[in-house]
Structure 1
């Protein structure tokens, strides 16, 4: 059974903040130069190095400010209400959490999550079945990592992503093939860790360069 980020078990996970700073990923991960926790940067570098020659990771987003998280929640909750007019407030919250996390447990707000895809040697994105950030409604559910109805190439690319990122200690949010995290509450619940190591973080605690080479 899929555990969503709105599940009370996620919020019940304690946070033992380790104090790692946010670092900017280097250009090998794409032009976004996303901010992530330093330990996550190291894990992303290990995942990148495990990819076959000619394939790279492009990180599109990392740390997200609380205000930005709230804005995305508001936008997508409106889309959910339009698509599911009979849903009550708890159901709207549950459905919204398929695509965007409640602020209190949001992995992006903790600097613990990345949205990413695979690229070829020319920097062109590979076929992953849907665009990054395609909602469940827009993609007819094909944004789910294990969704049926995607092509063989997309399935192979998702499986490759799972091998290298999972091998580096990240976990996937199963409703979004592009969302991977480490150290947050969702990661702790999925892996059985006693606590999250990354809690909500503002951008004051940063360093200029990432650990990823």
Structure 2
């Protein structure tokens, strides 16, 4: 059974900030949508994964560091959608369902600069990964889950390629979102049996400027 970000096994892991800086992913020659930031260790691992890809295929990072306010807005919006879809649902159950798609604010990897949302792009544009990035479980009928079997053979092959290069570079996937990969956050710590997360949410002093 998939362990979600709302699970006590994740939320109980301490985050001991190691002081690693945030960097602009463009400085690692990565393809991004606008300016995107992540921790230095995450950026270096993404660059390594990008180098592992076959000639003509690149990583395309759509989102890295996410402001706390944006994370809260996404979380609240999805919780409201779930409450509409499941009238009378208890708040703890909403939290569990919501964490399939968006992390509770207190453990959110994007807020700590530890996670990116990405896809693969080739000479003729984005490759088929089965669903758009940010397709909810409801919108995609579960096809957003990395191991979904309802997607095409081409999409499964591309997901396998994505996993091969990113795992080899030291990142971990959140299994309910094929596009979400992280390093140094609580989910990474749980997956790799590390006693602590390496990154906690950046302070205003360490946040990079946004355009």
TM-score scaled by structure 1?
Answer: 0.93
Contact 2:64 2:113 in 1 (8 A): yes
Partner of 2:94: 92
Shift of 1:203: 5.3
Higher relative contact order by CA 8 Å / sep ≥ 6: 1 or 2?
1
Q: Distance in 1 between matches of 2:76 and 2:15?
A: 26
Unaligned 5+ segments in structure 2 are: none
Q: Distance in 2 between matches of 1:51 and 1:33?
A: 22
Matched ranges for 1:13-162 at <5 A: 13-26=13-26, 28-122=30-124, 124-162=125-163
Shift of 1:36: 0.1
Unaligned 5+ segments in structure 1 are: 209-213
C-alpha change, 1:13 and 1:94, in structure 2 (3 Å) is same
Q: Distance in 1 between matches of 2:51 and 2:18?
A: 26
1:179 pairs with 2:180: yes
Contact 1:65 1:202 in 2 (8 A): no
Q: Distance in 2 between matches of 1:41 and 1:163?
A: 17
The RMSD of aligned alpha carbons is: 1.4
Shift of 1:206: 5.2
Q: Distance in 1 between matches of 2:187 and 2:167?
A: 14
Q: Distance in 1 between matches of 2:95 and 2:130?
A: 26
- Once superposed, which parts of structure 1, at least 4 consecutive aligned residues long, lie more than 3 Å away? none
1:3 pairs with 2:19: no
C-alpha change, 1:37 and 1:206, in structure 2 (3 Å) is same
C-alpha change, 1:203 and 1:111, in structure 2 (3 Å) is farther
